[in-house]
A and B are shown apart, each in its own frame.
Chain A
Amino acid sequence: DQQVKQNSPSLSVQEGRISILNCDYTNSMFDYFLWYKKYPAEGPTFLISISSIKDKNEDGRFTVFLNKSAKHLSLHIVPSQPGDSAVYFCAASKGKAAGNKLTFGGGTRVLVKP
């Protein structure tokens, strides 16, 4: 069973508007969450993360929100730019005791239209 799910396989948004990507998880042992961005023919690159002791983390245009009770996190991109067109993966970790292993969602493909 998938422990981390991204239920929207794709998202289309106009340049300058907000992109909201969602991610749900089932395992309450996850205590650290990350978002990665992936362009075609490249490896994933780290975007932003959040610890389970926080409910929000912001870095420039990117903000991640965590709702522990709902086991849900979201990534907001404001404003969206054409260069943000990529596949976004959310990932969850149980920390060093579990080898810092990450469990990934299936990804959401974002298209930002000029």
Chain B
Amino acid sequence: NAGVTQTPKFRVLKTGQSMTLLCAQDMNHEYMYWYRQDPGMGLRLIHYSVGEGTTAKGEVPDGYNVSRLKKQNFLLGLESAAPSQTSVYFCASSYGGPVRGDTQYFGPGTRLTVL
């Protein structure tokens, strides 16, 4: 049971380049999330999904797109990377079933640097 995994672990991009971050979970969770963590600012929600084929904007969605084509996967895309997107990105998932399950389980993170 791997939990939540993220690919890649590290990446360096040049301004204007694009990339996709992959998140996978094997807990059969309905809900998935993408956060970014910047120094002193905690974790801020970028986008989230409450089920396969659905996505919604979070607190800081500009410059990012997401897709949830399969229940177990949640992709985060940067179409034209900017230095302001240098950050550590975390994916998380939560139960989403009839019994309340607010607890989110996090992946190990992807450290992205945009030059």
Residues of A within 8 A of B (CB): 4, 6, 9, 32, 34, 36, 41-46, 49, 89, 93, 95-96, 99-107
A-B contact pairs, 24 of them (CB 8 A): A6-B42, A34-B103, A41-B108, A42-B108, A43-B90, A43-B107, A44-B90, A49-B102, A49-B103, A93-B102, A95-B100, A96-B96, A96-B100, A99-B31, A99-B56, A100-B96, A100-B101, A101-B45, A102-B33, A102-B43, A102-B104, A105-B42, A106-B41, A106-B42
Which of B41, B50, B105, B108 is within 8 Å of A46, CB to CB? B105
**Cβ-based interface call for B48 (8 A):** yes
Residues of B within 8 A of A (CB): 4, 31, 33, 35, 40-45, 48, 50, 56, 58, 90, 92, 94-96, 100-109
Residues of A with C-beta under 8 A to B33: 101-102
Bound-state Cα–Cα, A63 to B33, Å: 27
Which of A9, A99, A100, A104 is within 8 Å of B43, CB to CB? A104
Taking a contact as CB atoms under 8 Å apart, the answer to whether A43 and B106 are in contact is yes
Residues of A with C-beta under 8 A to B40: 9, 106-107
Taking a contact as CB atoms under 8 Å apart, the answer to whether B45 and A43 are in contact is no
Bound-state Cα–Cα, A73 to B95, Å: 24
Taking a contact as CB atoms under 8 Å apart, the answer to whether B103 and A41 are in contact is no
Bound-state Cα–Cα, A6 to B43, Å: 13
Taking a contact as CB atoms under 8 Å apart, the answer to whether A100 and B42 are in contact is no
